[in-house]
Amino acid sequence: MRSVMPALFLGAIENMNGELAVGIDLGGTNVRAALVSPRGEIVRTSECRTRPERGSDVVIDEMATMVNTLIKEQGSSRDSIVGLGVGSPGPLSHRDGVIYKAANLPGWENVRLRRLLLERTGLPTLVDNDANAAAYGEYWVGAGKSTRHIVVFTLGTGLGSGVVINGEILRGHFENAGEMGHMIVVAGGRPCSCGQNGCFEQYASAGNLAKHCMARIRQGQQSTLREVLERDGEFGAKAVAEAAQAGDDFAAQAWDEACYYIAVGCVNAQHAFNPQVIVLAGGMTKAGSFLLSAVTKHFRKLCWRLLDDAPDIAISVLGDDAGVVGAAGLAWAAHDDSV
């Protein structure tokens, strides 16, 4: 990857010749860290609850402790670590290493994450959007391996996306390129927490699929999911998929609608970026072929007929490891670019 490296990273990486990189996947619920080899193999991991309400300083201290403990437990010297990559919710600045504001990290505004982690770990550090990190992981050693152009959709609580063009993450002038979860797929449609209406995220994410199914059931819609809702108070996309596969008409319709909109997103990605492969990641992909076959069916009906340039659509190979592996991969790429 030949992106412009932050000066802070280049200054710290000088004269280092290492064997492992550290990746961190910072989420609103959990923080996961891993030591990763130059071939993308996870060597050692650590995980803890984020509890962001404690404040950024406390959480960052904990992240640094995780990193330092991993290195100690591995028996590695500090000089054997090429760098630290962090995938974080945004919006943020990769260039400056600053989280501007993150919806699922309440109170985290203008947090200088890169500098704080560098000070606490002594490791050259870079920060990127969590979906970008996941996309880079899939490009590096996952479903996009051996390609140069991929798009990744993370179908989780929200809908993140990352774009790799010719081996480089697409960031854009304002460093927010590739935010396809907030492209509008239904003009004037459902309100989104971002302030727009009709965002892709509202129609195709695991979280919103479950949310809108629960709302319909509370309004009187008949479904076997009513028993789950009454028993547990809520359910997720997994329950919707299971009910659909078991023959529940409402769940089947809701699942198919979500797959239709995922296909719409894939068509838009095809025309915007012309990737070799579109990778589906996140919670919904645990449904495997039940998701992929429906999305592929709709995609084939929706895409144009002027040229056969349709990308492959694939399920993530790395699964829950994509973010942490990709974050470490970015550190490896920065190291390789600097030597």
pLDDT digits (tens, 9 = 90+) for 150-203: 999 999 989 999 999 999 999 999 999 999 999 999 999 999 988 999 999 999
Residue range(s) in the chain whose domain bears CATH number 3.30.420.40: 7-128, 143-317
Contact 122, 107 (CB under 8 A): no
Q: CATH for 143-317?
A: 3.30.420.40
Compute the CA torsion angle 118, 120, 121, 125 (nearest 10 deg): -20
- The amino acid present at 35, given as its one-letter code, is L
Q: What is the mean pLDDT of residues 62-68?
A: 97
CATH architecture of 7-128: 2-Layer Sandwich (3.30)
Comparing 31-35, 106-110, 236-240, the range with the smallest average pLDDT is 106-110
Contacts of 58 (CB under 8 A, 6+ apart): none
pLDDT digits (tens, 9 = 90+) for 287-338: 999 999 999 999 999 999 999 999 999 999 999 999 999 999 999 999 877 6
Angle between helices 237-245 and 206-218 (to 10 degrees): 70
Question: Burial level of 22, CB count in 10 A (0-12/13-18/19+)?
Answer: buried
pLDDT digits (tens, 9 = 90+) for 2-59: 333 444 444 344 434 458 999 999 998 899 999 999 999 999 999 999 999 999 999 9
In three-state secondary structure terms, 197 is strand
pTM: 0.90
Handedness of CA 166, 159, 289, 136 (dihedral sign): positive
Angle at CA 138, nearest 5°, toward 319 and 159? 65
